Structure 1
Amino acid sequence: MGKWMKFALVSWLLACVLLPFQVLANQADSKNASIYVIPIEQTVERGLEAFLERSFSEAEENGADHIILNINTPGGAVDAAGHIANIINSTDIPVTAFINSEAISAGAYIALNADEIIMVPNGQIGSAGVIDGAGNAAEEKTQSLWISRMKTAASEHGPEGGRNPDYAEAMANAEFDVEGFPSGYLTLNAKQAYEVGYAEAIKDDLAGVLDYLGYDEEEVHVTEANVSIAEQIARFVTNPIVIPILLSIGSLGLIMELYSPGFGIPGTMGISALLLFFFGHMVAGFAGWESLILVVIGAVLLGVEFMAPGFGIFGLLGIGLIVGGFFMASFSTTVMVFSVGIALFVSIVAVIVLFVFFGDKGPWKKLVLSAQTTAAEGYLSAETNKALIGMEGKALSVLRPAGIALIGDERLDVVSEGGYIEKGSSLKVIHVSGARVVVRKVEPVQSLKKEETD
């Protein structure tokens, strides 16, 4: 047998031995399905949206077979819920919503965009009316759009061609009633949701969900997406309630620092609040370095205006850049207008209070000349010659009302009492204050007596 024949025989034998092991390995891999469990907890806001976008991307990159949304939320921002729904609908991976407690308001909308809904026995879904920041019902236009979105999500998802959109409308519209349920925003418990087709199953825990989906818990690889510390900060910072608080603390801290010697706690507090705002918005993907750079440049221009007061150009430009930087970092113009308005109000009140009680400190002392040129310190103005009062003289020029006069033997700059005096008129000094000599026109008494005698 030749050398090449021996090599071919050995290779064939090795392949026969190793092939069964490879088949078994492939079979084992096929059993180990990859399941991603992504939590949707607390308030729905734009920080949660950034977390879900990252988690869905990781699931797709790692070839996940199924995504389970572990939902327990009282609701939140409508715009954030809309973006989260887009993330769910853009993936090719099957998505199941597991409501382990409640999916209220925006949470209900998110759940309705999943392919299937599974609830715990005491779960709740619904009550999805849109309210504004004051707790009142939103305007009709906003309500109409939201109701349409709820109905669309219900009709386009779920088994057998979607769910009955009437229940979704009843969840979002307090004036729309469905038979068998009380008036007002509809909320379904697990049993009711199952009966009307808004839940495909009722299970106690995640193991029950996996069993319902056809996965053996021991043969699947479950990955639980965790919110990182940075994302937790981002979720906190991007909350519409927290944003105006941070901006107010930032402006108040910096204003108080202007009244403090050196750099201390108020300045640290103010800068920390502003940096926290930008850090959270950058982690959430809303802000870039350009917005932070704008704010820094604006702060420098404001500092220049304070230290070297001019015509206000640097100050106005600085304020414009700072406000522009905040708006560039924001995910909502409405939220930022509201937040900047509150921060501006707090700043104005703080400036007034500090100016009233600490007016002799802070930046104002750089703008006001406090030194006095008193005689006790050796500063003298023009000497007041009281001896001139009562002396008479003659106008050497027209007084309009200032001019030149000869008082005694001395030429002086004088000013009339208020009226026009011709050149050559007789004058009398009536007041002297420093270099200011006030004169009054007088008639030559002697010439009048001479005319009477004649």
Structure 2
Amino acid sequence: MGKARLWTCLCLVIFSGTVMLGQAQSQGEGKTGLVYWIPLNQTIEQGLTAYLERTFSEAEEAAADAIVVEMDTLGGEVNAALDIGKLIGHSDIPVSMYIKGEAISAGAYIALNADTIFMTPSSAIGAAEPRLITGETADPKTVAFWASNMRAAAEANGRDPDIAEAMVDRNIAIEGLTERGELVSLSANEAVEYGMADNIVQNQQDVLDEIGYPKASVVEMDMTPAERLARILTSPYVVPILFLIGLIGIGIELFTPGFGFPGVLGLLAFGLYFFGHFIAGFAGVETVALLVAGIVLILLELFVPGGILGVLGFIALITGIIMAAFDAMFGIVSLMIAMVVSAVILVLSARYFGTRGTWRKLTLTDRQQNEAGYVSSRSYKELEGKRGMSVTPLRPSGIMMLDGKRYDVVSEGAFVAANQPVVVVQVEGSRIVVRPSGETVQFHHNES
């Protein structure tokens, strides 16, 4: 009995040792897992949002264990950064930020939304003061708004909100770090020292070690060609150019006969605008429908002149443009600027190169000069005394046929049926007075 107990205890010791050894070996080797590696090494623009939404969605569908965003950016658009920051902050999968180069301006805000931040020795983070497209500092209201978002991102992940706010607002001083009038920008060592980053790493493997998946399967993501094109086409620098090309191209078609290269180029510019915003997720099916309707109506105007179809097509096109813009006010302002510039260009072109085609149909180009024999209206004095035939009833006005030509005439007072012989009794300018030819004719001449 004693031997049996001894053997039982010995087996338990051996089993426990084996389990502990296995656990130690497992810890030494590190966990395996699935990590999605997403590069963000460009200017922060609206087109990036769709790209990150797609990659994050794919990571969720694949049940990834972690997401690493590799960052190297000098900043970009505030609105785009807010959208990306919210995407990272609301992710169900832990997100780590690997700052390989710079996380400046909008990049700093995006980085602060991550669960963990790792930086290479030469990297930096901060200097997030919002600026206008002209390079000037934004108004105090915008600065305060951006600073509050920086604070919120820092607080959500256990980082110093005062330092985050000082990256935006020059009026905030951090003792031992920066004085009033300066923006906070941290090196890698400073970021770790002040708790704004978790550690300094050298490469991808170091990041995997830090997040606890040293043996992970890494899925490296990248932008598709369509996403790259959408990023360019939705740039605030490119959108006004597309508007300008589109408006000038369509405008030139009004000055030239037929439908040629300028019109094709104009429609292509608007088509690229809608394509980029559709891929980026800003334009829906309804905006594409407005685009198609606008183009069809404008083309119909070329074959069915009158102006109504063209106006409706232009309204549909403009409405679709504004609806497709990532920011309606930006779309309206850009479009108005493009319309003014294109109008100036078209007017100057018409002045120096003349007008032809559809535009010529809408404008009076003939010049009537007295020296060339023009008078305000044609005189039919030579018709007095001539006889013709009423084509329509004269009640008292109608139409007469005389010498194979039709004339608008009025009867002297009596009703004249159709197909009755009449005689011209008086002409006053372009007014021709007739009476049935069976009556005595007396001519009335105006004294000049």
TM-score, normalization by structure 1: 0.73
What residue number does 1:16 align with? none
Which residue in 2 is equivalent to 1:326? 321
AA in 1 matched with 2:159: R
Unaligned 5+ runs, structure 2: 1-25, 384-411, 413-423, 430-442
1:299-342 per-residue CA deviation (whole Å, 9 max, x = no partner) reads 343445565554x5444433321111011111101220122112
> Is the 2:255–2:359 contact (alpha carbons within 8 Å) kept by the matching residues of 1?
no
Distance in 2, matches of 1:372 and 1:232, equals 54
1:213 Cα deviation (Å)?
A: 2.2
Distance change in 2, residues 1:36/1:285 (3 Å): same
SS in 1 for 2:447: strand
Give the Cα separation in 1 of the matches to 2:43 and 2:296.
37
- The one-letter code matched in structure 2 to 1:106 is A
Say if 2:237 is the partner of 1:241.
yes
Matching of residue 105 in structure 1 with residue 102 in structure 2: no
Aligned to 1:188: 186
CA RMSD of aligned residues (A): 3.2
Indicate whether 1:51 and 2:41 are aligned: no
Of 211, 214, 219, the residue aligned with 1:213 is: 211
Alignment of 1:249-264 (within 5 A): 249-264=245-260
Question: Is the 1:414–1:439 contact (alpha carbons within 8 Å) kept by the matching residues of 2?
Answer: no
2:275 matched to 1:279?
yes
Structure-to-structure mapping, 1:389-400, within 5 angstroms: none
Distance 2:361 2:249 in 1: 20
Match of 2:332 among 331, 337, 346: 337
1:363 aligned to 2:371? no
Note if contact 1:302-1:318 (Cα within 8 Å) is conserved in structure 2: yes
Q: Deviations over 1:158-204 (max 9, x none)?
A: xxxx0111110100101111112243221111111111011111112
Work out which of the residue numbers 437, 440, 447 in structure 2 matches 1:439: 447
Contact 2:31 2:212 in 1 (8 A): no
Residue pair 1:307, 1:366 contacting (<8 A) in 2 also: no
Q: Percent identity?
A: 43
Q: Which moved more, 1:353-362 or 1:37-46?
A: 353-362
Report the counterpart of residue 298 of structure 1 in structure 2: 294
Matched-pair contact (CA < 8 Å) for 2:35–2:218: yes
- 1:53-78: per-residue Cα shift (whole Å, max 9, x none)? 01001001101111111011111111
Which one has a bigger Cα radius of gyration? 1
SS of aligned partner of 1:255: helix
Deviations 1:246-274 (A, max 9, x none): 11111212223444454443233222221
Match of 1:75?
A: 75
For residues 228-262 of structure 1, the C-alpha deviation after alignment (integer angstroms, 9 at most, x for no partner) is 00000111111111111111111212223444454
Answer yes or no: is the 8 Å Cα contact 1:102–1:125 preserved in 2. Answer: yes
Specify the alignment match of 1:60 in structure 2.
Answer: 60
Change (3 A) 1:356 1:210: same
Cross-structure match for 1:86:
86
Other-structure match for 1:395: none
> Are 1:65 and 1:93, in contact at CA under 8 Å, matched by a contact in 2?
yes
The CA distance in 1 between the partners of 2:302 and 2:362, in whole Å, is: 8
| 1:174 aligned onto 2:182 | no
Counterparts of 1:308-319 in structure 2, within 5 Å, are 308-310=304-306, 313-319=308-314
**1:344 Cα deviation from its structure 2 partner:** 0.6
Per-residue displacement from partner, 1:364-388 (whole Å, max 9, x unpaired)?
A: 233357799999xxxx952569xxx
Change (3 A) 1:296 1:354: farther
Q: Report the AA paired with residue 272 of structure 2.
A: L
Alpha carbons of 1:167 and 1:257: their partners in 2 closer, same or farther (altered >3 Å)? same
Deviation at 1:209, TM superposition (A): 1.2
Structure 2 partner of 1:200:
198
- Pair 343,371 (structure 1): closer, same or farther in 2 beyond 3 Å: closer
Q: Contact (CA 8 Å) 2:290, 2:319: kept in 1 or not?
A: yes
CA distance in structure 1 between the partners assigned to 2:294 and 2:94 by the alignment: 48
Describe the SS at the equivalent of 1:103.
Answer: strand
1:202 maps to a residue whose letter is I
**What TM-score do you get using the length of structure 2 for normalisation?**
0.74
Pairwise CA distance, 1:413:
5.4
Q: Deviations over 1:97-147 (max 9, x none)?
A: 011000111110000000111111111111111122222222222222211
- What secondary structure does 2:167 align onto? helix
Which of 268, 271, 285 does residue 289 from structure 1 map onto?
A: 285
CA displacement at 1:343 relative to structure 2: 1.8
SS at match of 1:439: coil
CA distance in 2, matches of 1:340, 1:370: 30
Counterparts of 1:301 and 1:262, CA distance in 2: 16
- Is the 1:309–1:367 Cα contact (8 Å) retained in structure 2? no
The aligned length equals 364
Distance 1:357 1:237 in 2: 33
Question: Could you tell me which amino acid in structure 1 is paired with residue 101 of structure 2?
Answer: S
Corresponding residue for residue 134 of structure 2 = 134
Q: Which amino acid aligns with 2:171?
A: E
Which of 344, 358, 361 is matched with 1:349 structurally?
Answer: 344
**Structural mapping, 1:145-160, within 5 Å:** 145-157=145-157
Q: Which moved more, 1:89-98 or 1:54-63?
A: 89-98
Structure 1 unaligned spans of 5+: 1-26, 386-403, 405-409, 416-434, 441-454
Shift of 1:289: 2.6
Alpha-carbon distance in structure 1 between the residues aligned to 2:273 and 2:302: 25
Residue 242 of structure 2 contacts residue 270 of structure 2 at CA under 8 Å; is this kept in 1?
yes
